[in-house]
Structure 1
Amino acid sequence: MDRVRQVALDAYAHQDLPFEVLVEQLQPERSLSYTPLFQVMFSLENAPSEPFALPGLTFDPLELDTGIAKFDLTLSMEETQQGLKGRFEYNTDLFDARRMTRTIEHWQNLLEVIVAAPEQRISELPLLSEAEQHQLLVEWNDTWAEYPLKQCIHQLFEEQVERSPDAVAVVYKDERLTYQELNSRANQLARYLKKLGVGSEILVGICVERSLEMIIGILGILKAGGAYVPLDPAYPKQRQVFMLRDAQVPVLLTQQSLLDVLSEHKAKFVCLDTDWKANAYGTASPIATESQENLVNQTQSENLAYAIYTSGSTGTPKGVAIQHDSLVNYTETVCLEYELKPSDRILQFASIGFDVAAEEIFPCLVRGATLVLRTDEMLSSIPDFLQQCHCLGVTVLDLPTAFWHQLASQLTATMPLPETLRLVIIGSESALPDRLKIWQQQVGQRVRLVNIYGPTETTIGATLCDLSRSIADETTVPIGRPIRNVQAYILDSYLQLVPVGVPGELYIGGVGVARGYLNQPELTIERFIPNPFEKSEVTKALAACSQKSEVNSQFLLPTSYFLPPTLYKTGDLARYRLDGNIEFLGRIDRQVKIRGFRIELEEIEAVMSQHPGIRETAIVVREDRPGNKCLVAYLVHKPQQTLTITELRSFLKEKLPEYMVPSIFMQLDALPLTPNGKVDRRSLPEPEQTRDELETAYVAPRTPLEQQLAEIWAQVLGIETVGIHDNFFALGGHSLLITQLFAQMRDTFKVNLSLRGLFKEPTVANVAETIEIAQQSKSGGEIPTEDAINLKAEAVLDPTIHPGGVTYNPDVSPSVIFLTGATGFLGSFLLYELLQQTQADIYCLVRAETIDLGKQKILSSLKSYLLWNESFSQRIIPEIGDLSKPLLGLSEALFQQLAGQVDVIYHNGALVNSTYPYSVLKAANVIGTQEVLRLASLVKIKPVHFISTIGVIGDGKSSARIVREQDSLDNFIIPSGGYSQSKWVAEKLVAIARERGIPVSIYRPGSISGHSKTGTCNTSDNIYRTIKGCIQLGSVSNQDIQLDLSPVDYISQAIVHLSRQKESLEKTFHLVNPQPLPLSEMVNYMRSLGYPIERVSNTQWRSQLFKAGNSPDNALYPLLSTFSEEVSDRDRDSESQDSSIQQFDCQNTLTGLAGTSIVCPPVDTKLLSTYFSYLIQTGFLNPPP
């Protein structure tokens, strides 16, 4: 109070200084949205005001609400005869009524407490009511749940081995181990380690590359009773040496190739890749001779499981000690939260030195899932990463948020997530709202997205938020609520609870809190503090939670759990939302996260200060564009000392990991200081986006190719110019920027580049040479065009595909059906109808690594379209194969076996992509069809129902206005577009097979739209992308186009019904909507919903498209290559007159469906309402403004 009084008196001494003069002298940043210098006003009217009076009149004061707030917040207090009277005035752009109501209540609470306890310290005066305290302490921290308190993590693994000994536990490249094999090897290693003295509380180092040995080593250490200390082989030698000495490990597990780097340490080395083998004299390895049986466990749950080193502010890393009970609680929690099951395949992404690796390894191995170890090559680009995940059948990804940012920004219809993927976990830094918005638009709820927050000191994760059901606001993405058996408190600097919505420091309590730091007792005391609420009255209510129910004695928790004795001081700024979710707002201290790694800036400064040429240094984080954080080093060198950036960068790389080496270095004459002599970090200059810090002389591009490359590099790196000999990494490049760089180079030059090549020679000149070689290797440097391909010559069916003397009985009801394309949109509905309308078993060709994964893909597809019924399961039999391979990717024996079992074939599978050329689609769509016909001709003749497309007719360029179902394709022009061309050739093969005696029916659907009742659709289809893209553009072409929207339920019901009629064989069926919708009526409907769309000429629309469409945010971005920016004469003519619109005769279809209820609904307001409701509800379309 004395300090406040003195500040006020000092201010009164200068009260005559005009405000305008003060503003002129201080030159603050000006804005029309707020007043300069201050935005909060408090006024106290303590002088009694005389009532205004006139003879014969009485006056009552009238409060006027002008609707304008002069400041962001004003509190006016007035002393009256009745007591204090107050009024809040606030800016409604910043505060809402609910928040201000709470603020008023807190103000009243404060005043009441001051009167009731005037002797209490101001810092201890509570703002919150008892109800609010109860909410924050009890209701939002009621996380009690059972878990195996007395068990260790390796015991949970051993229990799983008993349940599934023959299941695959871990996979790396072509190597794999079953659960039994992994357990046996870990047991042998554990027994050997015990002979070396390993036991409870003994730290054992493990420094290995990602491999099967990594998993064996970790489990072996734990089974021996020890705690593992992971060292990333990529760490600098000095950092590894420090960690080994600090942890005082007596034994170090490693690999032969790493011995030279680690040779200085005096620990006993065990090489996991060589010490298992017999020596040159044939003597068996001492490890291999150990028993493979489980050891008798002598480890307690309070013993250490691992110690992981994180960045330290003193310049040296600090080891965080985690106990088994903490690890077991987290493992059990995420197993339940993520719904992990034995059929899951979890990618092991993180490096061994990152605690997230434990989240990937242990939950997987205690639930019987398969752990898939990634390779470094997977990170060459996002497309490569997604493709590899698809090939590996990955179902769960645990990614650094920074990597997820890159992945989310590149998701398109042509580069979707793998079909097997069901869960993505992100964490390690704040998620960007704009990336979440892209994710929700592209993925929706098909793949669950979970955001995890937690420092290493709280055992991997402390809070969890399911972002599949959370929509980010404009500024932040929540980190969720505390996980099971963990508590979260947001406190001020006096350890008092802060109100909801008010920032404070986040403290974590509960089972997950680490034991402390290795060999740093003072730092442990500083960061792990006693719980200030342990004896408070309100916390007693928390203990009542233990009386919820009787529990098994195995899961009983100590009473102290409910009153966590220790809280970890995270140093993170956070606040509670009204719904109980927590928002992360940044760091209070100078610890930061970049690309998923937690970094103490002081550690980098301490290491830089060790350089003999540096006098002063400061490290800050800059974000030159959203999501691209980088470290910037400001330095002042000593007098008479010369210092090059190359030398300094090399010095740091010897002592720090790559992610801690600054991207930008700026040399200053002196660091700016605050009045109290501290470095004024806010006054440090913005780094210049130039290449001046390089010692390499600038050499300009010499060729157009080098010029293009230099421009791409400059854009990705965020600098103005790049020379052809400039080093990508010296310019600030890092692993995440490489992903962007490769994506852009691939899109521009249409070649696949080697990641290893870039690391070896990271210059424009080298990459340009590589691209030239790649381009020259394609037909002498010229890429053949699709026009050069003679499609008629392609339509040749293998002469060996001929039924010969094989018989065919058309009266046999099928008991076995073979279906291709069952996981696609139409394929899922065909499978559903076949299951509904027949009693047959359905053999489904599916691409997957295992039968279980194949079955899972099929079921996931049915569930996503709301078609699943548990009774279907036994009748769906996956056949693991590939349309693009000979014999459909099946073995010859299996192919022959199927030929004898199958009664009828539905060939719906195809690679569908409107931007791919014929040459890319040929394997799946043409060769695949040929192999289906081969299957139909062997052992016994099987009818084939081939799903083609109306696009084979040739885009309406023929003079014929009516296309009849029995017309030959030769009557029409060959279609344009790779997909239609591939189906044209496939249909020609089917026609040849028909002539040879194979009974074939052809079905040509038009534009397949969503379900007529539910609206469920394939939003990656061109029609939906076009609708969304036009809404984003705000315009549509005025061409006279008829929209053929044929609901998928009509198409699938019609195909299955027609295929079951004997009269349908040998016929072709058109499946189009007989009542299409003019484009103009679609535009009118969208306008009626509130979407602002104008009709413009085709020329104008294409121009707008190419201006806006180059952004990945536009739905038409993936389809740009199908449009030409130049408008053809025919397109111009179509703007002024009706184009010759072909009509498709559907007589065969109508005849076959006569007497049934299968009718194609008209495209009317009712159908459009169903579709747009679905598109808006799923988030594909934003609601109308």
Structure 2
Amino acid sequence: MPTPDSTAERHPLLAAQEGIWTGQQLDPDTPAYNTAEYVQIDGPMDAAVLDTALHHVVAETEALNVAFTVDDQGRPWQISVPADDWHLHTADLTAEPDPHAAALAWMAQDMARPVDLTRGPVFGHALLRTGTDRFLWYHRVHHIALDGFGLSLVARRVAEVYTALMTGEPLPDSGFGTLASVRAEERAYRESARHSKDRAYWTGRYADRPPVATLASRSALPARTFHRRVTDLDAEQTNALRAITRKLSVTWSEILLAVTAAQLHRMTGAAEIVLSLPAMGRLGSVSLRVPAMVRNILPLRVCVTGEDSLRDLAARVCRELRAGLPHQRYRYEQLRRDLKLVGGQRRLSGPGVNIMPFEYGLRFAGHRSTVHNLSAGPVDDLSVNVYDRSEGAGLRIAVDANPDLYDEAEVTALQQGLLSLLREALAAPDQALRELCEAGVPAPVAVVDGGPLPGPVHPVLSLIADHAAHRGAAVAAEHDGHSLTYAQLLGSAREIAHRLAARRIGPGDLVALALPRGLDAVTAIVGVLLSGAAYCPLDPVAPPERSAQLLDDARPALVLTTGAYASGFADRAVLLLDRPDTDPGTTLPTTPSPQDLAYVIHTSGSTGRPKGVEIGHGALAHFISGAMHRYGLRREDRVLQFAPLHFDASVEEIFLTLCAGGTLVIRTDDMTESVPRFLDACVRLGISVLDLPTAYWHELAYAVSTGAAALPPGVRTVIIGGEAALPERVERWRKAVGTSVALFNTYGPTEATVVATVADLHDLSLAPADVPIGLPLPGTRAAVVDGELYLLGDNLALGYRGERTPDAARFAPLAPLPGSPRAYRTGDLVRIGEDGQLRFVGRSDTEFKISGHRVHPAEVESALLTHPRIREAAVVGQTLADGTRRLAAHLVADAPAPTASEVREHLRAHLPAAMIPSAVELLDRLPRTGSGKIDRGALSAPLAPALAQVPTAPDRPLEQTITPLERTITGIWQQILGADAVCTHDDVFDLGAQSLQAIQVANRLGVELGRDIRVAWLFQYPTAAELARFLDQHSQEQAASAGLPAALLTDAVLDADIQPAAGRRTGAGRRTGAAPGVSDAREQTERPTGRDISCRRGEVNQEGRIL
């Protein structure tokens, strides 16, 4: 084809072509945009006649007679250039050992050649003979010229012309329209009211878009090639699919979309799946008759729960499709621009599902043919391509994957899982999808080994006693100016052990500890273990009903506490730590055996009640040995104890430090009033190792990266865990801190003794968005079965406390492995990267993680249903677009319906604060699936935070202005709460704010204002107006002494046990606690502007739907 000259007719690119042009320019030599297929013709073919037919069709197809150029401003243009410099390639391959394989090899070689868009031709053709009367007509075209439907128009026209030439019949008219008509129609649409209406639909639908669910741990540009796995559904399977569509009143394509979404949910745990759905975009358009590139992408948002059946999910897909299809002409590229998702790794939708239902039905002079796709274009991530193009041959499903993101084994596993789920769902369309495939062929097992332990495992009590014997004067623990040496610690612990023994407490018994952080608590823990008993830590200021529930489950022999908390356990056997009694000189037991119980810690239960996890001495010792080696702890280290005792992170902090011979530095309450104060205290206390909840570390990383605070120079190791670390925060940390400080990302359920896997996030070889959970600790293993993580090793719990529960089945032999070792089924979905490290991708059930708390919605629902006016309740976990995590409660109530504040006050009497929903919605009825179950998928769309129905004070005037400081405060609260509006006089705790969110706001506000903002002030001044007034009236120095008393913020950070007991002018005595995640950095780096909303609280809630 000649080079286009300056006189050639040029036209602007169609919208669909612009994206392809841009992608090609990123890698000009890539063949990724070559699309190709071959038509297998069973019958003799005349190559000369086919050549004539092809030249005729090419000449009448405008889109094939083009080249592309760029003007002086860099704008691309399409040039009309006759495509006459090409020929039909022919080859007889019948002499080859495998003619068909030889043909495919030739095609692959041709597809791998890049196209020069400035010269053309943009297509190629070949006729390959593979049998006596079998021919393969191969045709390739650059995607910028034709989409899939356009290619089908050309192929159908070629067959039509060839047949006419062979039979001597007159050539019918092509019926092709012009590209000019398509350009004119596109231009008119952009200027129409329809365009504005479509834009409003899509931007509204995805304003609260969920995070993109994908199986890949990172993103990549489309590769030059792709992995493909192809499977044909035979006629029987295809007929079964078509039959079930009539039964469910949906289309077969909607069933395949539903199954794909279910499989992605199963492998990622995402509550919402957003698929990328290529759309023909031609119905009702002139382009229906024009071979061209006009294809669009529709994001298809599908809510999925484990309770959904195929009937439920297909109906939901059908509704979503029917809502979106009328708006399908609005360009996907423009929608991404509208949502500010252009560039970088910002995505709107995940894996693609390309349904091509248009049948060719091609006949060449009476000879039948079948069409086989070779490439549908570039693959960003994953693409499931479904073809229905042959007569009676059934459907063909091809799974394509970007080789830079997936290996061939992963693609095969995905394809097999998808087909298995499809078969099972078709056989049982009303059965919960999560229950399907569990009884089928065992899935392959991938094992990740943590390697051997560095040496023999020693019991923790022996290690502590050894330090007391050989380094007795070394400081074991410090708190608020007081300290204990190892000798003093062991001596005091033995006194407690003797006191317990005098009460006949010993091996086989359980002692509940109701103590705050402090030296007494550490001593008591060691003392209980020395007595031979095990300990069960309780929150000393938990709601009485919650404490009673845990004690009923644990059945301890007594409660060890102090006089300050004794009244909460009046009906229990109590030993007061601060009131010594006589020691009769009892004898203590010898070192416990590995199977003896060491401690019990409760987690949320799927049955609606908390469950106590029993950890043995052997598991504890095994964990300490592996973790001490992995973290590299030394006796010179000073380790901060951050967590309260009823979190198993305290086990790591206390026993790792004492077994290593280091000094445990127990934090004081005032340390966490702000991130700068926290880090200043770490400098003063000489901390070298920080062990922090990930949610709090997110705020610390943000403060350090913005220069609002500095990491203490003495800190050499930071350990985080409790929830997934945000890649953006990891990247901030790396840029601000570098590799001088070790950063360990840990993962582990309580059932595996605190931590099971560890990743070095200070490893600069990791990609910016790659945040693995790492490798198992030494001496342990992990197995991945059908995407789900199983843990193995001597660090596993003994089981659950009390009678057998449904959750006990999670501990079971893993039969596929030699010896069927005992394993714990985590319910977490992971993938193994090329480096062998594990990557967390989601949950397989409804369990939700908030600030390190495992929350089963069933437990919250059970507490809600104890309210006398609540008839039905459904609780779901929600992840907002900015990464914020929270619980939302949906209620059906009798009149008069309770307000959100009343609902929360009721729950505070039953549950820890982390389990209190941040959003509450009152419904006339809960949505149900076709099988009558609660449709949790329909409830997963984020709500505005619950707005309390608080009467408006009659003497409170409607404000007409809002100050810049008030706007800043309300703007930050809006970001953190995910609220549409926070008014200056709204009590944020009535809106569902909890302690972590208060920490986040204090941190962001401090960065914004360039001054230290105490968390305490947000509790004392819970409205933006009050806080702004306080900050305006007090200088930095004055405000520094204006905080709340320490008692008001006891255990205020991440402990789920904040109890503001005084000082609040509204809502005094309300309990708050750990709350959903953290906001996205893109919002945090901009000055929050908020909305100029001045309103009375009573006016926020006029519709009465959101409480």
Q: Equivalents in 1 of 2:396, 2:923: separation in Å?
A: 51
Contact 1:234 1:657 in 2 (8 A): no
2:812 maps to amino acid: I
Contact 1:397 1:424 in 2 (8 A): yes
Within a 5 Å distance, the mapping from 1:697-712 to structure 2 comes to 697=952, 704=963, 709-712=969-972
Quote the residue 1:526 is aligned against: 809
SS of residue matched to 1:612: coil
Quote the residue 1:641 is aligned against: 896
Q: Which has the larger radius of gyration?
A: 1
Cα deviation code 1:438-476 (max 9, x no counterpart): 111111111111111111111111111111116665765
The percentage of counterpart residues that share the same residue type is 32
Q: Equivalents in 2 of 1:110, 1:751: separation in Å?
A: 54
Change (3 A) 1:36 1:176: closer
- Deviation of 1:224 (Å): 0.5
Report whether the alignment pairs 1:693 with 2:1007: no
Which one of the candidate residues 433, 448, 451 is aligned to 1:143?
451
- Deviation of 1:1112 (Å): 7.2
Report whether the alignment pairs 1:770 with 2:1075: no
Within a 5 Å distance, the mapping from 1:154-233 to structure 2 comes to 154-233=461-540
Which one of the candidate residues 718, 735, 741 is aligned to 1:441?
735
Report whether the alignment pairs 1:583 with 2:879: no
- Deviation of 1:522 (Å): 3.6
- Deviation of 1:60 (Å): 15
Q: Equivalents in 1 of 2:813, 2:513: separation in Å?
A: 33
Quote the residue 2:676 is aligned against: 383
Contact 2:630 2:777 in 1 (8 A): no
SS of residue matched to 2:640: strand
Which one of the candidate residues 566, 570, 575 is aligned to 1:270?
575
Change (3 A) 1:334 1:358: same
Q: Equivalents in 1 of 2:511, 2:413: separation in Å?
A: 56
Report whether the alignment pairs 1:570 with 2:826: yes
Change (3 A) 1:124 1:714: closer
2:353 maps to amino acid: Q
SS of residue matched to 1:72: strand
Cα deviation code 1:657-684 (max 9, x no counterpart): 1111111211111112222122222323
Report whether the alignment pairs 1:73 with 2:384: yes
Q: Equivalents in 2 of 1:677, 1:108: separation in Å?
A: 30
Q: Equivalents in 2 of 1:295, 1:17: separation in Å?
A: 71
**Gap regions ≥5 residues in structure 2:** 1-233, 254-279, 285-317, 334-347, 420-436, 1042-1080, 1088-1107
Within a 5 Å distance, the mapping from 1:928-947 to structure 2 comes to none
- Deviation of 1:246 (Å): 2.0
Q: Equivalents in 1 of 2:351, 2:1005: separation in Å?
A: 48
Contact 1:230 1:353 in 2 (8 A): yes
Which one of the candidate residues 930, 936, 939 is aligned to 1:681?
936
- Deviation of 1:318 (Å): 0.6
2:453 maps to amino acid: A
Report whether the alignment pairs 1:236 with 2:524: no
Contact 1:28 1:37 in 2 (8 A): no
TM-score (norm 2): 0.58
Change (3 A) 1:477 1:778: closer
Contact 2:746 2:759 in 1 (8 A): yes
CA root-mean-square deviation: 4.5
1:237 maps to amino acid: P
Report whether the alignment pairs 1:459 with 2:753: yes
1:339 maps to amino acid: G
- Deviation of 1:533 (Å): 2.2
Moved more, 738-747 or 299-308: 738-747
2:1031 maps to amino acid: I
- Deviation of 1:719 (Å): 3.1
Contact 1:109 1:127 in 2 (8 A): no
Q: Equivalents in 1 of 2:476, 2:1025: separation in Å?
A: 45
Change (3 A) 1:773 1:325: same
Change (3 A) 1:7 1:340: same
Contact 2:477 2:663 in 1 (8 A): yes
Cα deviation code 1:590-625 (max 9, x no counterpart): 111101111111100110011010011111222335
Q: Equivalents in 2 of 1:594, 1:575: separation in Å?
A: 22
SS of residue matched to 1:154: helix
Quote the residue 1:422 is aligned against: 716
Cα deviation code 1:706-759 (max 9, x no counterpart): 565445544544435444553232222222222232234445666655544543
Contact 1:199 1:226 in 2 (8 A): yes
Cα deviation code 1:1080-1111 (max 9, x no counterpart): xxxxxxxxxxxxxxxxxxxxxxxxxxxxx998
Quote the residue 1:871 is aligned against: none
- Identify the structure with bigger relative contact order (alpha carbons < 8 Å, sequence gap 6+): 2
Q: Equivalents in 2 of 1:754, 1:611: separation in Å?
A: 36
- Deviation of 1:254 (Å): 0.6
SS of residue matched to 1:649: helix
Contact 2:920 2:946 in 1 (8 A): no
Report whether the alignment pairs 1:734 with 2:979: no
Change (3 A) 1:769 1:469: same
Report whether the alignment pairs 1:347 with 2:651: no
Number of corresponding residues: 708
2:579 maps to amino acid: D
Which one of the candidate residues 861, 877, 880 is aligned to 1:624?
880
Q: Equivalents in 1 of 2:416, 2:938: separation in Å?
A: 40
Q: Equivalents in 1 of 2:378, 2:822: separation in Å?
A: 48
2:1001 maps to amino acid: L
- Deviation of 1:309 (Å): 0.8
Q: Equivalents in 2 of 1:630, 1:417: separation in Å?
A: 29
2:460 maps to amino acid: I
Q: Equivalents in 2 of 1:734, 1:44: separation in Å?
A: 54
Cα deviation code 1:971-1003 (max 9, x no counterpart): xxxxxxxxxxxxxxxxxxxxxxxxxxxxxxxxx
Contact 1:464 1:483 in 2 (8 A): yes
- Deviation of 1:406 (Å): 1.3
**Gap regions ≥5 residues in structure 1:** 112-120, 277-284, 493-503, 540-562, 782-1108, 1118-1185
SS of residue matched to 2:1002: helix
1:461 maps to amino acid: V
Cα deviation code 1:28-67 (max 9, x no counterpart): 475759999981669999999999999xxxx999997674
2:688 maps to amino acid: T
Quote the residue 2:262 is aligned against: none
SS of residue matched to 2:535: strand
Within a 5 Å distance, the mapping from 1:487-886 to structure 2 comes to 487-492=781-786, 504-523=787-806, 525-534=808-817, 539=818, 563=819, 565-638=821-894, 640-684=895-939, 686=941, 689=944, 692-697=947-952, 704=963, 709-747=969-1007, 752=1012, 755-760=1015-1020, 762-775=1022-1035
TM-score (norm 1): 0.54
- Deviation of 1:123 (Å): 6.2
Quote the residue 1:6 is aligned against: 240
Report whether the alignment pairs 1:406 with 2:406: no
Q: Equivalents in 1 of 2:694, 2:847: separation in Å?
A: 17
SS of residue matched to 2:886: strand
SS of residue matched to 1:598: strand
2:724 maps to amino acid: S
Contact 1:572 1:588 in 2 (8 A): yes
Q: Equivalents in 2 of 1:110, 1:657: separation in Å?
A: 40
Contact 2:560 2:576 in 1 (8 A): yes
1:529 maps to amino acid: A
SS of residue matched to 1:228: strand
2:1002 maps to amino acid: F
Cα deviation code 1:408-436 (max 9, x no counterpart): 12213452211011111111111111111
Cα deviation code 1:340-381 (max 9, x no counterpart): 111101110111101111000101001110001112222211
Change (3 A) 1:513 1:9: same
Q: Equivalents in 1 of 2:250, 2:979: separation in Å?
A: 49
1:275 maps to amino acid: R
Change (3 A) 1:247 1:147: farther
Quote the residue 2:432 is aligned against: none
Which one of the candidate residues 314, 320, 331 is aligned to 2:624?
331
Contact 1:203 1:228 in 2 (8 A): yes
1:434 maps to amino acid: E
